[in-house]
Amino acid sequence: MEKFYTSFKSKALILFVSMGMMSTMAFGQICGNIQENFNNTGGSTVGFSGDFTHTQPGADGYLEKRNVIASGIYTITTPTFQLAATTDYIGFGFELDGSERVARVEAAVIYISTLNNQLTTVFITQFVPTYNPNSTTSDVCRAVSTSDLPGFPAGGKYRLRFELTPNTGNGQANQSINFDDFRTNGTLSLSPLPVHFIGLDAKKISGGTQLTWKVAGEENVNRYEVERSTDGRNFTSVTSVATGKKDTYTYLDAHTASTVYYRIKNVDNDGKFKYSSVARIVNGKLEIVLKAFPQPVINQLTVQHPVIKSNGLISVSTADGRIVKTIRPATGSMQTYVDMNAVQKGMYMVRFDDGEGNIETMKVLKQ
């Protein structure tokens, strides 16, 4: 997943305003009407997933993350919304409150791209929210042109994912961030996007192999199936894990082979399914499993790789070692897109460095 920070030109909208700076009508026209105020939901997060839980004192509900730590990163993923076919931008907004202020917000759009028919995550912006000087609140309102989202279809479905980093906090119970009055200009979709796998990790412990996978947008998932292989090609189901309306799942497999591969299959309520990336354990150590498709590639290459923890790098080079592309994947990503339009036809080497000393290369053919 390539981390795009689009260079918003005149046709693209990128706004951050407070309610005190514009009228309520103008605010709603840019980032949409309030889709969810979290009031009277009976404790449910109504399809919003991540690190926040629902709090409802009386009828004035909101999502809250307690025990926050300065420089920690806490996520919220929205349910699936759908744009009108004639709308050429995605607007979003929300109110921040709580005892701790947010130092940074990073926003991403998740959708199925027409370029490869794959679930795609594009990071669109990061910013410091502006707080009202007379209160503890910050009203955020932003929008992004769909032309800055590669392969976003007309009338497409989307989720929004936010990463919030507190400015202060050391984990005390009374230190919290509140998220409320979510806005967007799309409408809630009755047919949600598939779940988004954020990461899959595998490590050897005394009882076997500990698998941990993180997801976002768990709206229509029936179960997760853990699959195992000894050759990386033929997988069999090991167990089924019921959904728990959470973003992190674990499973301990007692299998003891020296080389073993794992992947997670999510099965939706309608029978549709998709897979996570593949984790490979060799003599107790997690190794890279690199995939690149389509082969041959014409315009855009999709590189699937283990979750990036820090300082990952992908490079594309000719047979004689001349580098023609360099991409730095997003931290936390498992998939990166490489634009190959300007690359001449021929054979190339894709080199992946996870930033932790693990490197793998593979060949790709540009047509």
DSSP per position, 105-168: EEEEEEEE-TTTSSEEEEEEEEEPPPPPTTSS-EEEEEEEEGGGSTTPPTT-EEEEEEEEEESS
Give the integer Cα–Cα distance in Å for 37 and 120: 27
149 is written with which tokens?
């989202």
Residue 57, preceding peptide bond in cis (omega within 30° of 0):
no
Give the integer Cα–Cα distance in Å for 129 and 93: 11
The residue assigned the tokens 């509140």 is 178
- Give the end-to-end CA distance of the chain in Å, rounded to a whole number: 22
264-303 in b/e form (b: 16+ CB < 10 A) is bbbbbeeeebeebbbbbbeeeebbbbbebeeeebeebbbb
Q: Residue 28: what pLDDT?
A: 59
Residue 118 · residue 112 · CB < 8 Å = yes
Which residue in 124, 41, 106, 110 sits closest to 82, CA to CA? 110
Burial of residue 152 (number of CB atoms within 10 Å: 0-12, 13-18, 19+): buried
331 is written with which tokens?
């931290």
Q: Residue 58: what pLDDT?
A: 63
The residue assigned the tokens 């409408």 is 187
Q: What is the DSSP letter of 33?
A: -
The residue assigned the tokens 């005390």 is 172
Query: What are residue 265's DSSP bridge partners?
Result: 225, 275
Angle at CA of residue 97, ends 91 and 100, nearest 5°: 125
Q: Residue 18: what pLDDT?
A: 38
Q: What is the pLDDT of residues 190-246, one digit of tens each?
A: 899 988 887 788 888 888 899 999 888 888 899 999 999 999 889 999 999 999 878
Q: Per the confidence metrics, is the pTM higher than 0.75?
A: no
Other Cβ atoms less than 10 A from the Cβ of 310: the count is: 9
Q: Residue 26: what pLDDT?
A: 55
Q: For the chain, which residues score pLDDT lower than 70? A: 1-28, 57-58, 288, 332
Q: Residue 226: what pLDDT?
A: 97
Residue 12 · residue 148 · CB < 8 Å = yes
| Spatial CB neighbours of 156, under 8 Å, sequence gap ≥ 6 | 82, 83, 111, 112, 146
Query: What are residue 97's DSSP bridge partners?
Result: 178
Q: Residue 315: what pLDDT?
A: 93
Q: Residue 137: what pLDDT?
A: 94
Give the integer Cα–Cα distance in Å for 82 and 143: 15
Give the integer Cα–Cα distance in Å for 12 and 146: 8
